[in-house]
Structure 1
Amino acid sequence: MEHEESNRSEFLVFPLSQVRKEGYKVTRKAPPSATDWSRRATRTQRGILDGSLGHYKGKAVPKGGCSAFAAQTLMKGTKPHRIRIEGMSITHDASATPDGIIDTVLSVMRYSTAVKSDSDERVKGVKGKWSSCMRKAGFQYASPQAAANDSRWSKGNVPTRLETSVAVADMQCKKKVRYLDTLVDVQSEYERNAIAEQSATLASLQSDAKVWLSNAKDEVNKQPATKRD
């Protein structure tokens, strides 16, 4: 059952209480950054990390930098291979990081299922119902994306009364036609199919992840203990 205060940004569904105040500005909020290291790092630090700096204080920087060296150390004992998903090829080689490989595979799977879901007749049907609901509210939009990306909303940081009115009608119509329920059901169906189709790939990555974790623990255990007072 869809709740009035649903917050599913991937489907452009936000709480009514939020869009009443922020309109579609809520869709452009940047996620919090995990670290600000990239902003504070010096050119030398970046060079050591990515390998663009060949030497540092008389010592050779590993080929590909410390990032590649760490990835190769963590991935010791697993074989590079090429993963194909829906015609897209993902290279799993010595320069790839373990988390990067897994994130890329999952991102490609999510993208391919989202594309299929968007072309599904059930999704097209509920978008048509949403558009009809919006017309009755006095707004002409072919899709929720068209409403959220209306060029008028990009002017200024404070939403206009029109923007908040459209955003509120948008959320109300989505709730009325069970938009979120339909999209979640359809996309979940495609995701289950994708998981079944890529079961061998996912099993391989799961097996590799155990090796990578073991390698990480071994490296941590090799580090000298920190002296305490």
Structure 2
Amino acid sequence: MRRRTGRMAAVAVILMYGVVGCGAPQGHEDSAPYLPPVPPPRPGTALPLDAYQPSPDQQARSDRAQATLERACLARFGLRWEGPEKTALEFGPRAIASERADRFGVVDEDEAARYGYRPPPWSTRNPQVRAALTGHHHNPPPEVEKVLYGLAPEHEGRRVPDGGCRAEAAKELMRGAPQADRSLPLRLAQQVAASRARDPRLVQALRAWTTCMARLGHPYASPAAAAQDRRWKQDEPPTEAERLVARADVRCRQETRYLPTLIAVTAKHQRELIDRHALELGRLKRLEDIRVHNVAAVLSA
């Protein structure tokens, strides 16, 4: 998460990978900003690599379990901390849900008519949402901070765990899990995104989409080119021209069945890479299963 120092940036990355959790916020919940709920993913948009990454619910439970262990660790040092704010709890699950809900860009004509190519107000790609989630935080008291992050070797004569209570809690949630590369699914997904453009089915669908857009008076080489048109100023509200292009984009995707083709091609290429990396992904699945078990044990204790 963003912060005045680099530590909160690290926390955001950790949250996304499920190794830092946050407890039920009790100190600042009343002032937490309201954010609209993330809609469920569109039917048929799930992808094979999703099975090797935490779901939003799993991420939320992991974050809560992590904070439970952190508070127990701090208590050993006579320290009390009510845990991160509600927005810190919400960031990880919301980011995963948001990625799955809008992973294929603008596909809803109503949203295109309202927001153009801008992320909708529920998306963590929306700058206002990210600012609300990452800016509404209060630093722990200094004594808590030292033990939580392991910034001091000891506290009142007791040795602080390496990396602090945060690292100790993360290690406990991974107890018994095999070594595995948790970034592998993301790298494979990026590899597919780069290679699928050569698939004949997608090439044909893209050709149909460009023909449709040209017929409507919007000559773009691809949906990405339309979304990244330099006329769309990201620090300004969407113009009528942007909304018009975005609506035409959605209509042409529907008319040419571009989105179903994109999903089918992406899924096919992901399955091929899953077969190719079966051993590594098998270890990762085992790791995630054990972590889910450990999280459940902490939350039920």
Shared fold (TM-score, shorter chain, > 0.5): yes
Which range is displaced more, 50-59 or 68-77? 50-59
- Alignment CA distance shift 1:208-1:163 (3 Å): closer
Which range is displaced more, 151-160 or 164-173? 151-160
Which structure 1 segments of 5+ residues have no match?
82-89, 91-100, 224-229
- Tell me, yes or no, if the aligned pair for 2:150 and 2:162 is still in contact at 8 Å: yes
Secondary structure in 2 aligned to 1:39?
coil
Secondary structure in 2 aligned to 1:154?
coil
2:132 pairs with 1:41: no
Match 1:76 to one of 161, 169, 175: 175
How many percent identity over aligned positions?
28
Aligned length: 198
Aligned to 1:10: 103
- Alignment CA distance shift 1:56-1:129 (3 Å): farther
The one-letter code sitting in structure 1 at the alignment partner of 2:150 is G
Matches within 5 A, 1:3-152: 9-26=102-119, 30-31=123-124, 39-42=137-140, 44=142, 45=144, 47-80=146-179, 90=181, 101=182, 104-152=183-231
- Tell me, yes or no, if the aligned pair for 2:178 and 2:286 is still in contact at 8 Å: no
- Tell me, yes or no, if the aligned pair for 2:113 and 2:246 is still in contact at 8 Å: yes
- Alignment CA distance shift 1:76-1:164 (3 Å): closer
The one-letter code sitting in structure 2 at the alignment partner of 1:175 is Q
- Tell me, yes or no, if the aligned pair for 2:116 and 2:246 is still in contact at 8 Å: yes
Residue 145 of structure 1, CA deviation: 0.7
- Alignment CA distance shift 1:156-1:72 (3 Å): closer
How far apart, in 1, do the equivalents of 2:175 and 2:232 lie? 50
- Tell me, yes or no, if the aligned pair for 2:106 and 2:112 is still in contact at 8 Å: no
Residue 11 of structure 1, CA deviation: 1.9
- In the TM superposition, what whole-angstrom CA distance separates every residue of 1:100-159 from its partner, at most 9, and x where no partner exists? x3xx23222322222222332322332222122212211221111111111221255432
Which structure 2 segments of 5+ residues have no match?
1-41, 46-99
Match 1:178 to one of 254, 257, 261: 257
Secondary structure in 1 aligned to 2:217?
coil
TM-score (norm 1): 0.70
- Tell me, yes or no, if the aligned pair for 1:19 and 1:167 is still in contact at 8 Å: yes
* Aligned CA-pair RMSD: 3.4
The structure whose residues are more often strand, as a share, is 1
Bigger Rg, structure 1 or 2:
1
